[in-house]
Structure 1
Amino acid sequence: MYLQFRADVEAALRDALEAAGYPTDDLGIEQPPEGVDAVLASSAAYRLASEAGAPPPQVAAELADALDLSEYEYVARADAQGPYVNFHPGEAYFGAALSVREDAGRLDPTGESVVVEHTSANPTGPVHVGRARNPILGDAVANVLEYAGNDVERHYYVNDAGRQMAVFTWAYETFEEEDLPEPERDRIEYDLVRYYRKGNEFLENAEPSAVEAAEAEIESIMQGLEAGDEETYERVGEVVDQVLAGMTECLARLPAAFDEFVKETRFMRDGSTDDVVSRLKDLDEAVYEEDAWQLDLPNFEKNLVFLRSDGTSLYTTRDLAHHEWKFDNYDRAVTVLGEDHKLQAGQLREALDLLGNDTSQLESVIYSYVNLPEGKMSTRAGTGVDLDDLLDEAIARAREEVETRLDDRIRDDDLTDEDVERIAHQVGIGAVRYDIVSKQPTKAITFEWSRALDFEAQSAPYVQYVHARCCGILDEARSGSEPASGGEPRADEAGAVPEGVDVSLLDAPEERDLLRVIARFPGVVESAADELEPHRVATYTREFAEMFNAFYRECPVLAADDPELRQARVALVAAARHTIANALDILGVEAPNSM
C-alpha cells in the first residue's frame, strides 16, 4: 500500500505541475518533516520558487489547492505547511496495513535473475571473526533482493587453484598426524588446518635446501592445475572439499546457506581462462614487464598482472572468466567484498570493460572488517578468534541472560529447559548477526557484548522481544476464542481488511503510528534492495519496535472494554507480528515465539 500511495502521489503531483506549466522532472518526493503525520511530502516548491516568482510557501499552497486526489483510493488529502506539500492517508490505506499477513514486505516479481557472491573465504581453515561480516552481510543482501521480487542465487566462489591451496595440498601429503598439535575443535577444517600451519612454518624456518625441494613440489602442483592434470585436480580437491565442508557447517550456524559452490578450477578446465588470457594479450593496454603479462590501467597506480612468466594464471585472471560466466547466466551480479579487495574490484571491472562486457550488470558491496576489543585476527598464525568461538560465547551469554531474567520473576511453568536453550540460540546468534548487519558496511565494527545483548537497548533482543510479545498476545487471544470473538482475524483475500474488523476504531495516535510504520515496510525493502543496504531494514526494525512498544503501553489489547475495539487491536498485533517477523527474516535473525 505504501508503494501504491507513493505512485498515486507522484501521478497527482505530476498532473498538477503540468496543468500549471511547471516541469515534472523532479517531484521532490521525500519523507515529511519531523512532527508531521503525513506519509509523504513534496519539496518541489523550493525549485519552482524562482520560476513562479513567488516564495516557496506560496508555491506549495498553490500546488496543494491544484491537486485532484478524487481518483486515488489511498491518498485522502494534501495540505501545505511552509514550503512542503504533505500527503495524508485515508482509511483504505490504514485498512490495507491492517490486512498485512505472511507476505509482508514481499514485492511483485521483477523478472530479473541476480547472483549474489559472498563469503568466498579461501578454504585454508576455520572461518574467523574478522571475516564474519561477509556471510552475514552477503546473506542479508541476498534476502532483501529476494524480498524485492528478484530471482536470487547465492554463490560461494572457491579459490581452489592458488598458491595457498598448493601449499596446503603439499603439507597435507607431507606431514604426519603425530607431528601436529591437537585440533582446537572436533571438526574437519580444524583438523586439516594444522597441516596448513605446519607447512607455512616449515617454509619459513626450514633449511634452504629443504625449502627449495618443497617449493619445487608446490610449483608442480600449480603447474598441474594449469595444465589440466586430472590427478592434480583430485589431490587438491581432496583437501579443498574437506575443509570447505567444515567451513560450510560453521556458516550454517549463522545461518548462511549457498545454492552453489563455484570452483575457480572450473574456468581453467573448460578453457575459459585461456580464452581470457588470449583476449587480454590482444589489448592495447597489455604489456610484458617484470617477467609477467600485465594490463597498464591508467586509472590505477598498479598494473593488473594476469599471467606469470611460467604460464600460470592468477586469481584475478580466473575471476574475469568467472564474471563473464555470470554475465552470460544472470541479469545482475552482486559481489560482497572486504575493503582490502577494493583495488582488485576496480581493476576487475575495468578489465571486464576492456574485454567488451557490459559492467552495468556488476555491483559490489564493500565492507570494513569486524574486530574484537582484543585486536585483529590471523588465519595463518592460528592466533585469531574463530567464528565458532564467537557463536558459542554468544549462546552462552544469551543463556545466562535468559536464566537471570527467569530468576528475577516467577518462572513460567511452560518454559522448559529446552525452551531456554532454544531462546539462547535464537537470541545469541541473532545478537551477533543483528549487531553486524545493522551498521553501514563501510563503517568498521568493534563487536561488544554489552551492546549486542542489551535487552533494553536497540539490539536484536529488543526487536525479537516485540515478535515474542505479539505471539503471546495472539496465543492468548486464540485460546478458547474463535476469530469472530477474539482470535487472530484472517483476511481471505489479499488486501482485504480482516472480516469483522473496523479499522476506523484504531484512531489513537499510537495505533495510527503503528499502522503507518507497518505500511512503510515495502518501501524500506525497495530502497534497501536498490541501494544494497540491508542495514536500512535494521534501522526500520528499531523504529518499528519503538512504535509497537508505545502502542502496547497505551492501548490495551485483550483488556479492551469494547469487543470490536479488542478485535481491531488483535488484528493490528497480527499485522505487526508478520511485519516484524519478515523484517528479521531479511536480516537473518530468528523471530522467537517466546522469550
Structure 2
Amino acid sequence: MLTELRRQVGDALAEALDEAGYDADPDLEDPPEGVDADIASPVAFKLSGDPTAIADELASAVSLDDRPLIGWVGTQGPYLNFRASELYFERVLGSATDDGYPTLPEKDETIVLEHTSANPTGPLHIGRARNPVIGDSLARVMRAAGYDVTVEYYVNDMGRQVATITWALDEFDEDDVADLDGRDKGDHDVVRYYRRANEVLEGEEGEEYAERAEREIDELLQALEDGEEGALEHVGETVDRCLEGQLESLERLGASYDGFVRESGYVLDGTVDGVASRLKADSRSYEEDDAYALDLTDWGIDKELVFVRADGTSLYTTRDIAYHIDKFERSDRAVDVLGEDHKLQARQLAAALDALGYDRDPESVFYSFVSLPEGQMSTREGNVVNLDDLLDEAVDRARAEIEKRADDRDRDVDEVEETARAVGIGAVRYDIVARQPQKSITFRWDEALNFDGQHAPYVQYVGARASGIGQKTDAKPADPSDAVAELEAPEERALIRKIGELSAVVEDSADELAPHRLATYSRELAERFNEFYRDCPVMNADEDTKRARLALVTASRVAIERSLGLIGVETPEAM
C-alpha cells in the first residue's frame, strides 16, 4: 500500500514542480524519526533560491484531487511532508487480510536467476549456505514484486572433479574408501571416493599409480569434450548421484528450482566451439603453448582469460559464457548469486561477453562466507560442517527450547516436531539472510535461536501470538472503515503504518537485490506489534474496540507471515 501512496505523492509533487517551472524529480524519502509524516521530500534543496520559500511554494501548488491516499501536505523548513489519509489506513487493514498481501503490479520483465550450482563433488557445507538462502529469498521477493522469475541450477557435468570421482567409483570398492559420517546420501557417498582419488593423485600410493590415474582421468575428460555418449552417460550417473543428495539438503532448507541446465549441453550443441571460434577471432586473443587466451587489459583486468586448454578442451568459464549467452536470449535480465571468491571470474565473464558484442552484463550478488566461532573451514582439509549436520542441529536445539518452554502443556508429538523443524530451519535461514550479503557471518547458536532477541524465533513467536489471539474469542474483526475509526492510539497507528510499508519493502528489496531488508522489516513489525499488544488490550476492551483491534491483529498476523515467508521462514501457529 505504501507503494501506491508513494506513487500518488510523486505524481502530485511532480505536477507542482512542473507548474512552478522547476525542472527536478520529486525526490521522495522516509521522514526522519519524530517527524509526523509518512513521506518527505528534500527537493527544495536542489532548486535555485531560498529552499524554505520554495518548499512553501510547492506545498501550496500540490493538488490532492484524485489522490485519495494523501491526507495532508505541509512543510518543515525546506522539507515537504505528506501524511496518509484515513482511507489509506482503511485500505491497509483491508488488503492485509489477504494471504497474498501485498499485491504489486506485474512487470513486463523476465529474469533468469541462477544460484547455488555447487560442484557435484560432495555434500553442501555451511560455508556456502548463503548461496541457496540468498538466491531462494531473492526469487521469492522478485516474484512478489511482479517479475517473471525462472530459477536455475547450473550442473557441472564436464569438469575434472566429476571425472575424478567417476574414475574413483570405477576403481575402488566400498571397502576401499573411508566411511566419513555414516549418512546414507549420494552426496556424502561420492565425497569419500573423491578424497580417496586425491590420495592417489597426490602420490601417496606411488608415482606410477598416480600417473595412470591422471592419464585415465584425462582420457575421460577428452571423451566428454568429444561428446562420446557412453562417457557422458557414465559421468552423468556420478553427477546425478551427488546432485540428488544435494537437492535433498536444499529442499530441507526450503530452496527450489525451476530447471537444471547441464554444461554438457553447450558442448554437445556446438555452442562452446562457437564461443571459442569467436573469441579466437578477436584481435586481443592470442595463442601460447597451444592454449588460447583473451587479453583483458582493455577491461582493466590484469589476468587474461584462458578459454581453450593446450589439449583442445574447453574450460568452465568458456562453458559459462555459452550458458550466459543462452540466458540473454531467454530473458531480459540474468542474475547470479556468487561467493566473493568468484569476483574475478565474474569480471572476466562480463569482459568476454562484451568482446563477443553483448551490451549487457549479468547482475551479480556476491556474498561472504559463513563460519563458526571455532574458525574458518577448508573443504580440501575436510575441516567442514556439512549443511545436513547444521540443519539437524538446528532442529534438535529448537525442539529442546520448545519443550523447555512448554511447561506442563500437553503437546502433540507431531506438532512439536513440526514446530521444531519450522523454528530450527527458520533460524538458520533468517540468521543468514538478515545480514547484507557482502558482510561476513559467524553463526552462533545462542543468537540464531534466541526467542527474545532480533532473530527468527522472536518474530515467529510474535506471529504465533497474533494467531492465538484470534483463536481465543468468537468476536469477529471489524470491517476496515469501522476499525480505523476506533484505532486512534499512537501504537495502533504506528502498527498500521508498519503493515502498510510491506509493499514498499518488497519493491525496494527486489530493485536493490537485497532480501535482507525483509528480515529487518519483519523484526521491526514484530516490535511494533509487541508495543501495541502491551499498551492496547484486545480481549479486555469494550466490544467495538475489541473488534477493531482484532482487525489489526489479523492484518499483523498476515504481514508477519508474509514478510517471513518471502525469506523462506515459516510461522508456526503455536510455539
TM range (shorter): over 0.9
Cα deviation code 1:398-419 (max 9, x no counterpart): 1111112223xxx333x32222
Distance 1:502 1:58 in 2: 39
Show the counterpart of 1:494.
none
In structure 1, list runs of 5 or more residues that go unmatched.
490-496
Distance 2:233 2:522 in 1: 48
Distance 2:455 2:483 in 1: 34
Contact 1:128-1:377 at 8 Å conserved across structures = no
Show the counterpart of 2:320.
319
TM-score (norm 2): 0.97
Show the counterpart of 2:388.
388
Q: Confirm or deny that 1:505 pairs with 2:486.
A: yes
Q: Confirm or deny that 1:438 pairs with 2:434.
A: yes
Contact 1:60-1:85 at 8 Å conserved across structures = yes
Distance 2:117 2:189 in 1: 20
Could you tell me how far 1:571 is from its partner in structure 2? Answer: 1.1
Cα deviation code 1:359-397 (max 9, x no counterpart): 25x211011100111222233433311011111111111
In structure 2, list runs of 5 or more residues that go unmatched.
none
- Of stretches 103-112 and 164-173 in structure 1, the one that deviates more from structure 2 is 103-112
TM-score (norm 1): 0.93
Show the counterpart of 1:68.
63
Distance 1:68 1:327 in 2: 44
The structure 1 residue matched to 2:84, chosen from 81, 89, 97, is: 89
Show the counterpart of 1:102.
99
Could you tell me how far 1:224 is from its partner in structure 2? Answer: 0.3
Could you tell me how far 1:150 is from its partner in structure 2? Answer: 1.2
Show the counterpart of 2:363.
363
Contact 1:125-1:379 at 8 Å conserved across structures = no
The structure 2 residue matched to 1:487, chosen from 472, 476, 480, is: 476
Could you tell me how far 1:183 is from its partner in structure 2? Answer: 4.3
Q: Confirm or deny that 1:244 pairs with 2:243.
A: yes
Could you tell me how far 1:352 is from its partner in structure 2? Answer: 0.7
Could you tell me how far 1:577 is from its partner in structure 2? Answer: 1.2
- Of stretches 12-21 and 160-169 in structure 1, the one that deviates more from structure 2 is 12-21
Show the counterpart of 1:198.
196
Could you tell me how far 1:582 is from its partner in structure 2? Answer: 1.1
Distance 1:64 1:160 in 2: 63
Amino acid at match of 1:193: V
Cα deviation code 1:68-106 (max 9, x no counterpart): 223310001111112211100111000011011212123
Q: Secondary structure at the match of 1:587?
A: coil
Distance 1:163 1:310 in 2: 14
Could you tell me how far 1:46 is from its partner in structure 2? Answer: 1.2
Could you tell me how far 1:67 is from its partner in structure 2? Answer: 1.8
Amino acid at match of 2:112: V
How do residues 113-512 of structure 1 correspond to structure 2 at under 5 angstroms?
A: 113-184=110-181, 185-204=183-202, 205-298=204-297, 299-360=300-361, 362-407=362-407, 411-413=408-410, 415-477=411-473, 481=474, 486-488=475-477, 498=480, 501-512=482-493
Distance 1:261 1:197 in 2: 26
Q: Secondary structure at the match of 2:211?
A: helix
Amino acid at match of 1:457: G
After superposition, the CA RMSD in angstroms is: 1.4
Q: Secondary structure at the match of 1:13?
A: helix
Could you tell me how far 1:18 is from its partner in structure 2? Answer: 1.8
Aligned length: 569
Contact 2:483-2:548 at 8 Å conserved across structures = yes
Distance 1:234 1:183 in 2: 27
Q: Secondary structure at the match of 2:252?
A: coil
Distance 2:453 2:78 in 1: 36
Identity over aligned residues, as a percent? 52
Q: Secondary structure at the match of 2:308?
A: strand
Distance 1:135 1:325 in 2: 22
Q: Secondary structure at the match of 1:357?
A: coil
Distance 1:217 1:435 in 2: 45
Q: Secondary structure at the match of 1:359?
A: coil
Amino acid at match of 1:540: Y
Q: Secondary structure at the match of 1:154?
A: strand
Amino acid at match of 2:353: L
Could you tell me how far 1:290 is from its partner in structure 2? Answer: 4.4
Distance 1:334 1:28 in 2: 28
Distance 1:347 1:137 in 2: 23
Show the counterpart of 2:563.
583
- Of stretches 270-279 and 378-387 in structure 1, the one that deviates more from structure 2 is 378-387
Contact 1:501-1:567 at 8 Å conserved across structures = no
Contact 2:477-2:549 at 8 Å conserved across structures = no
Could you tell me how far 1:111 is from its partner in structure 2? Answer: 2.6
List structure 1 segments (4+ residues) > 6 angstroms apart after TM superposition: none
Contact 1:130-1:370 at 8 Å conserved across structures = yes
Distance 1:577 1:501 in 2: 19
Could you tell me how far 1:167 is from its partner in structure 2? Answer: 0.8
Distance 2:12 2:93 in 1: 25
Q: Confirm or deny that 1:77 pairs with 2:72.
A: yes
Contact 1:337-1:365 at 8 Å conserved across structures = yes
Cα deviation code 1:523-556 (max 9, x no counterpart): 0000000010000111111111111111111111
Contact 2:477-2:548 at 8 Å conserved across structures = no
Could you tell me how far 1:232 is from its partner in structure 2? Answer: 0.5
Q: Confirm or deny that 1:569 pairs with 2:549.
A: yes
Cα deviation code 1:327-352 (max 9, x no counterpart): 11112111100000000001101111
Distance 2:37 2:73 in 1: 9
Distance 1:315 1:66 in 2: 60
